[in-house]
Chain A
């Protein structure tokens, strides 16, 4: 670990030099909100954001990804043989990822890369990523990261963490990957102790700004069935319209569906994001649907995030406190209220 200095005026050159080796994704404001986009030419990156509307999880788990291909022509040599779709995993930098979104990839990783299963596409993509985080000087009122094991300058999952100190960034390398990246980009000016002090003060100050807290301490000891049968689910679910906003904007929701799309004899097997809010998510081939009612689906989402995940992986909750679902749920279902209900029942 080392602390370097990047002058803000040198940022364009820094990004330019990264682009020689990496594909670089960075926050860009377009049509009214921030999103991570690949830097192709002279785009203006904009670091004046709290959170991007969509998390950058699609860079590790694309919303739609062709995973296999096949040919249904039996006469053909490779007829009816399913083959892995060829693709590249170019070295990629996500510049300006927020610490909560970086932590989210670690939350997801235990699902995709564990002793039982290794998802090859996830693993290769994650390996190809280098994450340059940007600490949050001004967290939003809907940020509650400090309650769920993260924080505005949390280092988990990042390769480099940037502290915005006004005229310059302190760049803290956290992994060999991060060290190598800064080295390649010629960032070699060490931060002096005064600057380090300012960075640490900034971190403390920012953590204090997070007023939104959720309780999680009793979730682990609760019995699954007690929470499952809790009396509050009908009230929580009433307003839900069962859209996929919460799950698609969530940086930790990983559920997917696999579909075959066929044109004439040529087929593609595609993995698409799916959502536990959709009835089709659990519809059986028999026609039976174990979660046919809205209340069952709403309960599933919160139980998975706040209870099943922790019970299964012993890795906290599957929520990093980014506040996207809180802000963009069209009917204002607030996960922070559900934390309270589930923890304090």
Chain B
């Protein structure tokens, strides 16, 4: 992944200089180990700030809605799918975008590494193709990246960008084997009370900061239902009913649109596995409509499609 940095900078410089785009949206190196920060660059001379490694975990499609200029955007598989969702949902125009596609081998979950270190602090990290070496006072570990991938990346079936103008490297092999829904099946088998307990327990630490919602490219509503104040729809306290209302309604609003990019889970300051809400819906959409979000810019999302020849009688 790290080997893409130079190519990303070269492409970005070129398309800014040639005025193919007005701005670039990418990542810069973070101020902390294992962190990156999304950045907007409008000057070809500043493209050396662009960076890429296995910790570019936020979804840059989140920064597109409402933008008017021509944008060069760095996109791994999931980002590109969310860009496609934005295009289909009229949040951005394809012509506005120059997509710099990044074939992705998965993002490394910084929390898994931090938890492995159990309080010890990282001073230096060195990333190579397969490994990441972390050094600190009195320790040095060479970790296999595959062992520390984000959960969503472990089962990702679309590591290559689905739409792009240029690629920064050769396409990577897609996974063929994983069943991404093993754990969803476990929840499906629970009785209703047990299920309620499972989801209640999931949000018990929620502080209603909305990091999950705000990190999500799908959540671009001008006013989110939890922010409606006239009339107010949902209570603002940390009352369990209100917290559950927020999470469940938000998940349903993402049905058929979620690409399982994992940004919600990575953003959560309380380590809540927010994806557990959306993944059952992703599975249902796949089972019922043979559809995965963001694979095409031509097809409408399954839940706002009507076909007179639908095979289900109830809708005809």
Contacts and interface: CB of A to CB of B under 8 A. Distances in A.
B169 interface: no
B36 interface: yes
A120 B266 CA distance: 39
Contacts of A17: none
B208 A244 contact: yes
Interface stretch (A46-54, A92-100, A224-232): A46-54
A191 interface: no
B215 A243 contact: yes
Given A32-B115, A242-B214, A283 B229 contact: yes
B38 A328 contact: no
B208 A332 contact: no
Interface string A236-262: 001101111101110000000101010
A275 B214 contact: no
B119 A244 contact: no
A128 interface: no
Contacts of A261: 235, 237
A31 B273 CA distance: 12
> How big is chain B's contact interface, by range?
35 or more
A39 interface: no
A216 interface: no
A33 interface: yes
Contact of B237 (A33, A54, A244, A272): A272
A327 interface: yes
A280 B207 contact: no
Contact of A248 (B209, B215, B223): B209
Interface stretch (B7-15, B27-35, B78-86, B175-183): B27-35
B214 A63 contact: no
A332 B266 contact: no
A241 B238 contact: no
B205 A31 contact: yes
Contact of B32 (A31, A54, A64, A327): A327
Interface in B227-269: 227, 229, 232, 235-239, 263, 266-267, 269
Contact of B40 (A33, A50, A238, A334): A238
B237 A330 contact: no
Given A239-B39, A280-B229, A327-B32, A64 B209 contact: no
Nearest to B235: A261
Contacts of B271: 31-33
A185 interface: no
Nearest to B35: A332
Contacts of A270: 236-237
B210 interface: yes
A245 B209 contact: yes
Contacts of B35: 332
Contacts of A326: 31-32
B62 interface: yes
A140 interface: yes
Contacts of A327: 32
A275 B227 contact: no
Nearest to B115: A32
Contacts, number: 104
Interface in A30-74: 31-33, 48-50, 53-54, 63-64
Tier of interface size on chain A: 35 or more
A330 B267 CA distance: 5
Contacts of A53: 269-270
**Interface SS of A by simple majority:** loop
A27 to B, nearest CB: 13
Nearest to B55: A332
B207 A63 contact: yes
B38 to A, nearest CB: 4
B58 interface: yes
A267 interface: no
B269 A331 contact: no
A337 interface: yes
Interface in B178-213: 205, 207-211, 213
A241 B267 contact: yes
B291 to A, nearest CB: 28
A63 to B, nearest CB: 5
A278 B229 CA distance: 13
A330 B235 contact: no
A332 B30 contact: yes
B31 A337 contact: yes
A149 interface: no
A235 B40 CA distance: 8
B223 to A, nearest CB: 8
Nearest to B121: A141
A279 interface: yes
Contact of A259 (B111, B237, B267): B237
B37 interface: yes
Given A64-B238, A241-B267, 14 more contacts: A31-B205, A53-B270, A63-B237, A140-B121, A141-B121, A238-B38, A239-B58, A243-B214, A245-B209, A245-B211, A245-B269, A330-B58, A330-B263, A332-B36
18 contacts: A32-B271, A63-B207, A140-B121, A241-B215, A243-B211, A244-B210, A270-B237, A272-B237, A278-B210, A279-B223, A283-B229, A326-B31, A326-B32, A328-B269, A330-B266, A330-B269, A331-B37, A332-B37
8 A-B pairs closest in CB distance: A64-B237, A244-B209, A330-B267, A243-B211, A241-B214, A239-B38, A332-B37, A332-B30
